[in-house]
Chain A
Amino acid sequence: MIKLLNVRKGFNLGRPNEFIAVGGVTLAMEANRVTVLKGPSGSGKTTLLSLIGCMARPTSGRITLRRGLLAGGYFPGGADAPEVEVTSLPERFLTEVRRRTFGFIFQQFNLVKGITVLENVMLPAYPLGEAHGAVKKRAHALLEMFDLAGRAVAKVEWLSGGEAQRVAIARALMNDPPVIIADEPTAHLDSKLSVAFMEIIARLKEQGKTAVIASHDPLVFGAPMVDRVVAVRDGLIDGEGQ
């Protein structure tokens, strides 16, 4: 369970260009479900995803994660607490949460150019200090899973849009996180690849993963495996649908 309690996020506070991206959102998302945040550009979806994924801190409000979502035997705040409030954790712990709990799929894929597909997929595991051989083996298995085994040594800039996205998904899954966060994942894909992406999400859901996706693509929020659609507008929740 991921809970947001009256979460607000503002930028340039106190300055003439002050801007409130998220204006007090309260929301609870079930584990092992696919939740889509739906809304037009500038509605605050991406900011909400950043806050949920511990990439930024809210200006006010609280975000809590169910203990089971904190993978890797990592227990800030005591091993017995059923929930952990992540908004008040120091940066070092937030990095740990980002690394082990969330796998991110960005709108622009955000692959590191100039290095190979395999190295890109391995990147999230580097700070964990695992044996290089084991990391490589896992990365190869993920590439195999996404039908990219033949592209392992290719530079990422040589990939097609669909391939780049699958590499981004493989990278997101590298540390086996329980939650996948995807920001406009189909923005640069054609309809066929968008459907293929949602099929991958369905597979991940079957494996017990939770997914939070921000999108205004009907192929995403209308897909059968989506459990819940939350409409976002002007930084606020604007209705829901199943």
Chain B
Amino acid sequence: MTGWIEKNRSILDFTLSSLLRRKGKNLSLFAVYTLVVFMLGSAMFLTQAMKREAALILKDAPEIVVQRLLGGRYDPIPLEYSEKIRAIRGVSTAGPRLWGYYYDPVIGANYTLMVPRTDAPPPEKIIIGSGVSRSRKAGQGDIFSFRGYDGDNRNFTVAGELSPESELVSADLILMAEADFRGLFGFPAGQATDIVVSVRNPKEVLTIARKVAELLPDTRPIVRDEMVRTYDSVFDWRGGIVVVLLMMALLAFVIFAWEKASGLSADEKREIGILKAIGWETSDVIAVKAYEGLLVSFFSFSAGLLAAYGHVFFFSAFLFVPALKGWSVLYPEYRITPFIDLYQVAVLFFLTVVPYTVATIIPSWRAAIIDPDSVMRS
């Protein structure tokens, strides 16, 4: 055992000096390798963190949202529907919600206007999301002028801003009083955008949703799990686009690694011949190359992953944000809570370290099985 340790220590020693001898080649490999891991790692960290963020926010979302359909399309829902829903056994609360979109031609973006169910702002006052605040450079006391359904402008004073903690889904939000909302959009009294329902026993959510659909056949109940799934697939899809692009980068990397790491130079082949001639076994030579591959891989992988972590969690993934976050013009801007999925890190490890190490070993093995007498003829 001691002999095995000493032998590997000596071989590792030689490997380190070999790496230092070929500084140029190994540094360029390190740089490209790190870059690929950085990009793949960034996409992975960002997608995971956003899914988790969205899931955390949706945790407080209503268990069931009931919308009315007319001709298969969304239509305002009568307020008395909430009474009917509340009468279903197992429903604890059912209340109407008022919300809609407003296009602001000044910045070319859509706002989500909403009447909060509690603590609504006083008349002619609004509370704005941080995306709105940033893009309009507006703060408390500033006045927003919205053009109503009838063509008249209505002025609203900013009474406050929403907490940036929920920015991912509230960047474009504006909260206002019910009367202001109805007045601005001409939303008929006695109707709401949708109805939110809470259920006493979470296990009964699907049963209640089915009962709502039976009682009010012109409605569509949407349960929270469906919303969570929709968010998941939206972020998966966005992450997927980047991952597909990065797969191409990975492929380019594999070709590069194969070329750089596997193409043994004449000097390296000669060196392998010398080592074999002075009594090194084929397995010793392969061990040197495997250690070389593993060392380059390990340090590049670690550096790339650390850089990706910093990029996503300390610099808010500034390189990827336009492709990955939000569907509005008002991009959320906030620091993502660090979150690492070890399974994905392991996948990334096997996608990069293993192919690279194999790419370095095979040609060395080919060179190492030649007769050592070739060195006598060099």
Chain A interface residues (CB < 8 Å from chain B): 46-47, 49-50, 55-57, 91-92, 95-96, 98-100, 104, 106-108, 110-115, 119, 122-132, 135, 171, 175, 183
Least CB distance from B279 to A in Å reads: 3
Q: How far is the CA of A146 from the CA of B372 in the complex (A)?
A: 27
Asked whether B7 lies within 8 Å of A128 as measured between CB atoms, the reply is: yes
The 8 A CB mask of B238-253 against A (1 = contact, 0 = none) is 0000000000000000
A115-B280 contact given A50-B376, A126-B10, A126-B14, CB 8 Å threshold: no
Least CB distance from B6 to A in Å reads: 5
Asked whether B10 lies within 8 Å of A132 as measured between CB atoms, the reply is: yes
Asked whether A49 lies within 8 Å of B376 as measured between CB atoms, the reply is: yes
Partner of B21, one of A111, A115, A171: A115
Least CB distance from B371 to A in Å reads: 5
Q: How far is the CA of A112 from the CA of B270 in the complex (A)?
A: 9
**Could you jot down 25 A-B contacts, CB within 8 Å?**
A49-B376, A50-B376, A55-B277, A55-B373, A55-B375, A56-B373, A95-B276, A96-B279, A98-B277, A98-B278, A98-B279, A99-B280, A106-B277, A106-B375, A106-B376, A107-B376, A112-B271, A115-B14, A119-B14, A124-B279, A126-B280, A127-B11, A129-B6, A132-B6, A135-B10
Q: For chain B, what secondary structure do more than half of its interface residues adopt (helix, strand, loop), or is it mixed?
A: helix
Q: How far is the CA of A130 from the CA of B280 in the complex (A)?
A: 14
The A-contacting residues of B in range 1-46, CB under 8 angstroms, are 2-7, 9-11, 13-14, 17-18, 20-22
B282 at the interface (CB under 8 A from A): yes
Interface size class of B (residues with CB under 8 A): 35 or more
Asked whether A99 lies within 8 Å of B279 as measured between CB atoms, the reply is: yes
Q: How far is the CA of A11 from the CA of B5 in the complex (A)?
A: 40
Least CB distance from B159 to A in Å reads: 72
Asked whether A91 lies within 8 Å of B375 as measured between CB atoms, the reply is: no
List, in ascending order, chain A residues with CB within 8 A of B270's CB: 110
List, in ascending order, chain B residues with CB within 8 A of A56's CB: 371-373
Q: How far is the CA of A115 from the CA of B17 in the complex (A)?
A: 7
